[in-house]
Amino acid sequence: MTAERRTVQEIEDLIRGLWEEMLDTDVLPTDDFFQIGGDSLMVVDVTVEARRHGLDMKTSAVFRHPTPASLARFLAGAGEEPAPATTPRAPQDLFLSADELWRTHGSTWAPDAPRCLFPLVTEGRGEPLFIVHWGNDAGFVWKATSAWGAGRPVYGFEAPGFRGAVRPLVTINDVADRYLAELLQVQPEGPYHLAGHCHGAVVAFEMARKLRAGGQEVALVGMVKPSALERFVSYGWGLDDITRYRLESLAATFGLQGDESLEEVFERMRTKEWYDDRLGPADLPRLQVQWAALALALHHYEPRPYPGPVLLFQDRKDRAETERNWLSVLTDVETHWLDYGVDDPRPLLSDPGVAARIKERLAR
């Protein structure tokens, strides 16, 4: 039965039932999805379940109509009515289409393209530790991961397209190749020590796999809260779809109303340590496409079996997915489960136990 054949009350009851099952809590018609335990990642699951029950719904509807009552009215045919003034909405200036970015930006493989590899700790002995960051790196992330080196030099990678007018890469394989081109300039021969967190942990793993396939020794791969590789967005989405989803998420997270300037948006994000002063407001549109490219790359990545040593830290809430998608292909893995219960990897990065265990392994 489609939304057009249902009453507002029937749709509202269905939405409340879906949210109650997903969030494991009672839901009132006026409850805000994001205030009762929902987050931007769960919006995709909400949308998929709603469509499975016959509702023609997009992810943007949940961001703009975050209560069962308002969402039901919208889906029942009130879509022509403007959203309430308090509904989060991203400024139009934040959106940059993939077509426009590809027309106006250069290749990350060009000789004059910005480098992806940066020294974090220049002093030290032994082979360096190479850390793959998730892309949106504020200063505290660099500081936290720099301490993992155990007396070694430490280098960090930034995602292609994070800095400068270059196009992002849209597969994990390509990102790994891009990073390895710079890594081998610093250290032509193994043994190698790699680490990464969130999206970066997946890239670090693929880099290690490529190095071993080329006959090099990889002494350690440290993976801190790697992506669990479950469905993040619809498999049919392209870069523009994921970018729009990203902007709806930012609007909900930062309370945007759609009339903010890029300077205002950047300041809110900088205050929350999403970005730092190495970037500026004009970078924001490109950075959201870069984020979408990383999400698309993760969505289509399938890890292959890896026999080398891996040190893995994961939030216990992601255990089932991690066992299915990661531990099933790792044969030499030391796994540590932590109880943070959040999607944000930053608490794990700051966990002293994580740093201590990585340093202990590197000190061997």
Following DSSP, what letter does each residue of 115-178 receive, concatenated?
PSEEEEE---SSSPEEEE--S---HHHHHHHHGGGTTS-EEEE--TTSSSSBPPP-SHHHHHHH
Q: Give CATH superfamily name and number for 103-231+296-363.
A: Alpha/Beta hydrolase fold, catalytic domain (3.40.50.1820)
Res 137 pLDDT > 80: no
- Same fold yes or no, 3-78 and 103-231+296-363: no
Res 1 pLDDT > 80: no
Mean pLDDT value across residues 317-343? 90
Q: What is the pLDDT of residues 53-77, one digit of tens each?
A: 888 887 778 877 888 888 888 888 7
State the chain's mean pLDDT as an integer.
87
The two structure tokens encoding residue 246: 């990203």
pLDDT for 99 equals 96
CATH class held by domain 3-78: mainly alpha
* Residue 266 · residue 284 · CB < 8 Å: yes
- Domain coordinates in residue numbering, the chain: 3-78, 103-231+296-363
Mean pLDDT value across residues 123-141? 78
Q: In this prediction, what percent of the chain has a pLDDT beyond 90?
A: 49
Phi, psi at 135, each rounded to 5°:
115, -60
- DSSP 3-state of 60: helix
Cβ neighbours of residue 349 closer than 8 Å, sequence gap 6 or more: 141, 144, 145, 197, 224
| Cα 347 from chain centroid (whole Å) | 15
Res 185 pLDDT > 60: yes
* Residue 195 · residue 154 · CB < 8 Å: no
Q: What is the pLDDT of residues 191-229, one digit of tens each?
A: 999 999 988 999 999 999 999 999 999 999 999 999 888
